[in-house]
Structure 1
Amino acid sequence: MREAALPYLEDLSQVTRENVQLAVREGTEVVFVERIAGSGAVPVLTRVGGRFALTATGVGLVLLAYSPADVQEQVLARPIERYTERTLTTAHQIRAVLADTRARGYAVSDRQVTIDALSVAAPIHDHDGEVVAAVSLVVRHGTASTQALANLICTSARAISRAIPPFTPGH
């Protein structure tokens, strides 16, 4: 998947000059499989191979929104870590964001991880329509329209979804 996604991630990085991230869910955490840092982009706390809570990042919220109900319940039953004063920390708040994410087709994490960053993320679907990953743009808060970022990231997510090869057992 990473190889199939990379040309689209690089294009997104070139066009926006912002942080572009690709992530998957492993259990109850986000695992970042690719990150391209934009020139002069806002600093982020993520790194390739790094893990993060599903509840705060844009990619995490997308992955959680499309996770099985038992995974959502497991995540929301635990204490939720606060990274900034804007981090959502109640199951009620996060459930509302997950519903919005499913309805809109993208997630927004506004200053939930660092006080200067806005993340907009969209799901990547496999050939069966299952969400297998998420892609995001992370920008400095206040520098871009959330809707414009959503349009870009959703377009890229659809392209990546079409590009990833079908899963073949044993390969």
Structure 2
Amino acid sequence: MTSWDNLLNEVKKRFVSSKELNKTCEHNYILEVENSLNLSLPRELKNIYLSSNGQMGNEEGIFEIDSSYGKPSRIRFLTLDDVVCLYNKLSTDEMYSSIFNNNFLPIAVNNIESPIDVLCYDLKSGEMILLWLLVWDLFNPVEWQIEKKKIADNLSDFLKRQLDLYCT
């Protein structure tokens, strides 16, 4: 079993319906997404999307991270449609240009409409990056208020840490 499969088993044990995942994603759709974003998803991430195309609804997410407030927060696993939408939003918004680069692929977020905590897969290094995008003070520069933080060396490590959180 993969780290993803193990994590899903734990999620299903603990949460009956609030964290349901969508059905599988077609390989052709993954290719369409890759073409539209002009990038290639790594095999491990493709396999995850082939098993489930993100999380249903806007309920609390399956991933737990330390939020920008310094408290644990649950972020929602994005569908590929939401990945495209958020990637395009972050890559074209000047406010985030100092922190977001085109190698970051968002895969989970606290709120798709106004993202604060965004989990990204770094396509160049394979690292998992958390972006904190809370901009609340109009008198201070944006770059003083946003931050990026490496939270795992790779996707597999991230999933194993998530599994550990569910098991403790």
Instruction: Calculate the TM-score normalised by the size of structure 2.
Output: 0.31
Instruction: Calculate the TM-score normalised by the size of structure 1.
Output: 0.30
Higher relative contact order (CA 8 A, sep 6+): 1
Q: Which has the higher strand share?
A: 1
